[in-house]
Amino acid sequence: MTTPAQREAATAALLVARAKAGEPQAFDALVRRYRKRIFALALHLSGGESDADDIVQDVFIRAFRALDQFEGRSEFFTWVYRLTVNRALDARRTRSRRSESSIEEDDPRIERALVVDAEGDPRRAAELRQTYARVLRALDGLPPDMRTTVVLVTLQGLSNAEAAVVQGCPRGTIAWRLHEGRRRLQEAIAPCEPSKTPLRKKGLSEHLGRLLEDAGMPLLELDTCFEPTRS
């Protein structure tokens, strides 16, 4: 019996073979299949929505042009993930040289999460905004390779083995980066003021909710870090 991951890999391999054979619709299907995940990865690594849009377009153009060179030794998605990581880290370095702040009031990562998680409640949105801003500052403060590992495994759901292929390093390195990244996130998030109104765990999207849990702190405990918004 095949697993979902095996079926996904088989479908992607078939589409790649058809695209190599000159069927443009097959590559279009690959783009539709992976665009959302590639955009999310680019957004978390670059920190900018316009950068993420540019990265997605550039990555798929590069993948299409180099498709004949793709020999299938790794899965298609790990190949395009590797292209995305490299391109996103370049964009992040460019933003840093321009001295642009990583976390702004309208950070797209926060705004996208709030659309799902705030459920139209302004009070909940204000509390979540503080939580997400803090965790993103901690995430953005990690070394680039460590931040990439945390994003790949925690937010993108890759296994340690898949992240190792994408980043071109041993699995043991991935395991250490995850352990150290979680420790640093927990240290950065922990020292905060108590709150009388804990945020609900229910409804938290995978945009950032998983990152909070992966830091090793239950959401109700972590939510006590913030003063409630007062009307």
Q: Which tokens in the block code for residue 95?
A: 């933003």
Q: Indicate if 110 and 218 belong to the same structural domain.
A: yes
Q: Indicate if 78 and 188 belong to the same structural domain.
A: no
What CATH number does the domain containing 123 carry? 1.10.10.10
Q: Indicate if 69 and 121 belong to the same structural domain.
A: no
What CATH number does the domain containing 86 carry? 1.10.1740.10
Q: What is the pTM of this model?
A: 0.83
Q: Please state, in angstroms and as integers, the Cα–Cα distance from residue 38 to each residue in 69, 74, 155, 195, following that order.
A: 21, 17, 12, 36
**Domain final residue, candidates 58, 84, 100:** 100
Q: Indicate if 77 and 118 belong to the same structural domain.
A: no
**Domain final residue, candidates 34, 68, 100:** 100
In the chain, the number of structural domains is: 2
In the prediction, which pLDDT does 71 show?
A: 80
Q: Indicate if 92 and 20 belong to the same structural domain.
A: yes
Domain range for 70: 1-100
In the prediction, which pLDDT does 126 show?
A: 86
Q: Indicate if 31 and 110 belong to the same structural domain.
A: no
Q: Check pLDDT > 80 for residue 220.
A: no
Cα separation, 56 vs 61, whole angstroms: 9
Mean pLDDT (whole number) for 130-149: 90
- Characterize 29-68 residue by residue with b for buried, 16 or more Cβ atoms within 10 angstroms of its Cβ, and e for exposed: bbbebbeebbbbbbbbbbbbbebbeebbeebbeebeeeee
Q: What is the dihedral of CA 52, 56, 58, 63, to 10 degrees?
A: 150
Q: Indicate if 124 and 35 belong to the same structural domain.
A: no
Q: Indicate if 112 and 81 belong to the same structural domain.
A: no
- Reported as a pLDDT band with limits 50, 70 and 90, residue 165 is very high
Q: Give the single-character DSSP code of 10.
A: H
CB 208 within 8 A of CB 113: yes
**Domain final residue, candidates 39, 68, 100:** 100
Residue 181 phi/psi, 5-degree rounding, is -65, -45
Q: Indicate if 28 and 107 belong to the same structural domain.
A: no
CB neighbours of 169 closer than 8 A, spacing ≥ 6? 145
Q: Indicate if 84 and 54 belong to the same structural domain.
A: yes
The distance from CA 29 to its chain's CA centroid, rounded to whole angstroms, is: 22
Q: Indicate if 96 and 107 belong to the same structural domain.
A: no
For 1-5, 55-59, 164-168, 182-186, which range has the lowest pLDDT when averaged over its residues? 1-5
- Digit-coded pLDDT (tens) for 70-90: 887 788 999 999 999 999 998
Q: Provide, rounded to the nearest whole percent, the portion of the chain with pLDDT above 90.
A: 44
Q: Indicate if 91 and 109 belong to the same structural domain.
A: no
How many Cβ atoms from other residues are within 10 Å of residue 27's Cβ?
Answer: 18
Mean pLDDT (whole number) for 26-55: 93
- Reported as a pLDDT band with limits 50, 70 and 90, residue 104 is low
